[in-house]
Every structure is written in C-alpha cells, then in structure tokens.
Amino acid sequence: GAGVSQSPSNKVTEKGKDVELRCDPISGHTALYWYRQSLGQGLEFLIYFQGNSAPDKSGLPSDRFSAERTGGSVSTLTIQRTQQEDSAVYLCASMRDSGANVLTFGAGSRLTVL
Amino acid sequence: DQQVKQNSPSLSVQEGRISILNCDYTNSMFDYFLWYKKYPAEGPTFLISISSIKDKNEDGRFTVFLNKSAKHLSLHIVPSQPGDSAVYFCATHPVRWGSGNTPLVFGKGTRLSVIA
C-alpha cells in the first residue's frame, strides 16, 4: 500500500486478555520495526524484522510479548495476559532496505488495558 | 539509561519567531541524526536529518545544527507557523549509516506550540 497500515487503531481490553496488533508495511519494504509510546515517554524500541526473521528482539519487555512476520510483509505483535502497564500506542514502521535510514511509521494502535 | 535526551518537554513560541528544539546524546559513536514530527493520532513523520560529516543541514524553514564536541544537536524552525505545533523527536542510529538495521533510538520528544 501507499503507507504503513496498522489495525486496530484503538483497542480496549481487560487485564489478563490476549491482544493482537497488526501491521501492513509499505510494499517492498524489507525491514519492519515495532515501537511503543507510553504516556509521557519517548518511542521505545520493541523488535525489528529483516524479511521474516527478527535479528533484534532486545526491546521486548517480557515473554508475554511476541511478534512474527510472514511472507516478508504483514507483521503481528501479540501481547499475552495483558497488564495495565502495557497500555500505550504501539507504532509500526518500515524501511526500504538496510541501506536506508528513514523509517516510515503507521498511525499506531492505541491499547488500553483496564 | 537514555542515550538521546530532549530535556525540554514543551516549548511555546509566537508565530513568526524562531523555534529552537534541543537534543543531547551520550555516545560519540552516534553519527547520523534525524528529527521526526508527530501530530496527535498520527505516526511520526521524518522531517530532516544530518550526518556527522556536516555541522548544518537546511531544508526550507528547517535547519539542523550538529555540535559533535558537545554531543548536541538542535532544530531551528524559522519562521514558526501554527501548523508546526506538534511533538518533535530527535533520533539516532547507533552505528554508521548503511552498515545495518540497528533500530533508531528516540528521545522523549518536545511538544512545540506555536501561538498565532
């Protein structure tokens, strides 16, 4: 597509439930990143994909967080047994290739855990 | 431990005046810097960048200055317009450009309000 598409744009869930957030990157972009922005905080790196593999998972805050990418395109970020501190805007970004530097972000998925 | 620091959470400027947003970084190995702008309910969008081989990069009303010895960069917007009101993030790649996909490290952002 023309831009990075994320869904849902808004998700309200109860503590303890699992959620899935989806990212559809720009067509042809091989690198895909997940960040999150909690209230009053900057952009926190979570995980990055090059193609379908994730060379850098260092930012995932706990083992409740996982992500996958299939077909070198769509990625899903899954949060199991959500906690209130997981409430944040989850941002996905893609980049053309390893020679590029500029990330193009989606509008984000706002997650609220009650 | 923050690698990129934006110490001013907010800044208010009158329309037509200059806005100066500041950013400090901790590691002299950082050599490529970017500024992103974010409006509410939208993702951040790339604004301007600078490589450490330069000390200034200009694009229209936006200029970024880099002071490597002080590990400091700043974004100047002149003249400021109400449409510039947004959150501005400073970011860097911790490795040399083109050598890998290390993730961008962002500051916490500065909210700029341009008052008409």
Q: Give the pLDDT score at B97.
A: 44
Are A46 and A60 within 8 A, CB to CB?
A: yes
Sequence-ordered list of residues with C-beta below 8 angstroms from that of B85, at least 6 positions apart, any chain: B112, B113, B114
Q: Give the pLDDT score at B1.
A: 65
Query: What mean pLDDT value characterizes chain B?
Result: 91
Which residue would you say has higher pLDDT here, A33 or A40?
A33
Tell whether B109 lies on the interface with A, counting CB pairs under 8 A: yes
Q: Count chain A–chain B contacts defined by CB atoms under 8 A.
A: 61
Q: Give me the amino acid identity at B29.
A: M
Q: Give the pLDDT score at B37.
A: 97
The pLDDT of residue A84 is above 50? yes
Confidence of residue B103 (pLDDT cuts 50, 70, 90): confident
Q: Where are the beta strands (DSSP E) in chain A?
A: 5-7, 10-13, 19-24, 31-37, 43-50, 53-56, 65-69, 75-79, 88-95, 104-105, 109-113
Cα four-point dihedral sign A61, A63, A65, A71? positive
CB contact under 8 A, A101 and B93: yes
Are A35 and A43 within 8 A, CB to CB?
A: yes
